[in-house]
Amino acid sequence: MTVSVLALVTDVKRQAKPVVGFGFNSNGRYAPSGLLRDRFIPRLRAAEPRALVDESGEKPRSGSSLGCRHAE
């Protein structure tokens, strides 16, 4: 299964923080709701907050995989 995830950081600010949009696509047999429920949401909840953002604490960390394996 191939899954692509994208974080889009804008220059728009809300409550002094940049607006960030996330999107993903799966080329395979799994519906988006299953991927979110079974893979992405549990990993995001389990991750240390600092593991998700860069050193400034403002932007998503580039290349962070949250423990995902490429051949999963």
- pLDDT tens digits for range 9-44: 888 988 988 888 888 777 777 777 787 888 888 888
More confident residue, 9 or 62: 9
Query: Is position 71 within any domain?
Result: no
Mean per-residue pLDDT of the chain: 76
Share of residues in the chain with pLDDT > 90 (%): 0
Q: Residue 21: give the domain boundaries.
A: 2-52
Task: Give dist(CA 44, CA 66) in Å, integer.
Answer: 7
Query: Is position 22 within any domain?
Result: yes
Query: Is position 69 within any domain?
Result: no
Query: Is position 67 within any domain?
Result: no
In the chain, the number of structural domains is 1
Closest to 41 (Cα-Cα) out of 12, 66, 62, 18: 66
Query: Is position 57 within any domain?
Result: no
Across the range 47-67, mean pLDDT stands at 72
Task: Give dist(CA 12, CA 60) in Å, integer.
Answer: 15
Cβ pair 61, 54 in contact under 8 A: yes
Closest to 68 (Cα-Cα) out of 26, 8, 31, 21: 26
Confidence of residue 69 (pLDDT cuts 50, 70, 90): very low
Cβ pair 72, 1 in contact under 8 A: yes
